[in-house]
Chains A and B, each alone.
Chain A
Amino acid sequence: MANRKIRVLLAKLGLDSHTVGITVIAGALRDAGMEVIYTGLRQTPDMVVQAAVQEDADVIGISSLSGAQMQHIPKLLDRLRSAEADDKLVVVGGVIPDEDAAELKAAGVDEVFTMGARTEDIATFIRTWWEAERR
């Protein structure tokens, strides 16, 4: 199976319109050889789950720069569980206060990358998980 690729779904939830970060990440993950499904702005948890299922994404990446992460992301994790799609890696990036990051990780988010995280580290984190879980 020479043709296996990591598929990553990137989305922004709710009324968060800052797209620079997510665009940079999309390019960096593409350059790391991954297939990035970019869904854009104003997604609901249900939309993200349906897209992740239809696309058979291995990884869901949520960018949050609006401060509403605690409102949307637990809901997303919930919906993933009810869709039996909670075997996917969920990573969150953006402006996330430490206490939110801890709470998100306790709720099931696999990793939180805050401002200053290097794109190579994000790609490496994803690839390491994939080699261990999906290979």
Chain B
Amino acid sequence: MERDPIVLAERALGGHQGAGARLIRMLEEGDEGATEGLRAVLPSAGRAHLLGVTGPPGAGKSTLVDRMAAEYRRRGSRVGIIAVDPSSPFTGGAVLGDRVRMHDHAADPGVFIRSMATRGQLGGLARATFEATTVLDAMGYDVVLIETVGVGQDEVDVADLAHTTVVVSIPGMGDDVQAIKAGILEIADLFVVNKADLPGADRVAKHIGAALHMRAAPIDAWQPPILMTEAERAGGIVDVIDGIDAHRAHLRSSGGLDRKVIRRRERVFHDVLRERAAARALACAPRQGAEILSAMRSGELDPYTAVEALLGVEA
């Protein structure tokens, strides 16, 4: 198959799913030419609403995303989905199983689902999640849902990426203090208490509400709603989508959208700078680089001094 990023970009913009998928693949692999393809689709991006869905493992994120996609389809939107699952830290392999819960869209060309493995990335997203959402956005998907890996307390990267972040909780996840930890609480634009038919769901909602009262008021003064769902039987989904629409309208009228866009740009800039600068520093003096690395491994140089030594090498 084609691997010319410009050709892939053109075909992806023309609606060819295979071309879009290959471009995402090359970006994920860190292919050197792929950035050119990304640059070619960039002018067409910026129209989609980017929607993060995050929460602990087993909260029902995949099922919720599936039902949300179905509701968006009913409303006439085309939907992109990026579903992130963890890579094995030992073999680098992964089993990406989110499609199992998304069968209803498996033959619908109006839904583009891409499973991504974290490949060692922390923070709840995969290495090229930002780039993948940009490609789907440029291909004309009206909404791009990003499902993070099952997260704990501090995997909040999705908030740098999404316009609206949905935090999913379920009853029975531990004591009440869990609900007021910083991080996860602060990134939520909407709270969803899923599996609301289980005992304790009301208590979860109540504790989130109480914690919200205690937090520092956000700049744009949006009050995150707390919504109850039973994703398995699609209960409460209409309210979730309405809530997202309301948040989107608020972002537009308050100028919050511009702030999110700037935050996303800054994040991408710093990520790419860190990655490229590191690669360049290691590549510009391969021989000295290898020597410094081996001195660092043996303990002759501590890691801090080794970095200074590497950066001090003249190309």
Contact residues of A with B, CB < 8 Å? 1-5, 7, 26-27, 29-40, 42-44, 46-47, 50-51, 53-56, 83-85, 87
Contacts and interface: CB of A to CB of B under 8 A. Distances in A.
A42 B87 CA distance: 26
Given A55-B115, A56-B18, A83-B18, A33 B103 contact: no
Given A31-B91, A50-B107, A84-B18, A40 B99 contact: yes
Contact of A47 (B25, B30, B103): B103
Given A37-B115, A54-B114, A32 B106 contact: no
B112 A54 contact: yes
A39 B107 contact: no
Contacts of B96: 35-38
A3 B29 contact: yes
Contacts of A54: 17, 21, 112-114
A43 B30 CA distance: 32
A5 B100 CA distance: 21
B30 A3 contact: yes
Interface in B1-55: 1, 17-18, 21-22, 24-25, 28-32
B95 interface: yes
**Looking at A7, A26, A34, A56, which has the most chain B CB atoms within 10 Å of its CB?**
A56
Interface in B92-138: 92-97, 99-100, 103, 106-107, 109, 112-115, 117, 119, 127
A34 B87 CA distance: 10
B107 A44 contact: yes
B18 A39 contact: no
B28 A3 contact: yes
A30 B91 contact: yes
B278 to A, nearest CB: 13
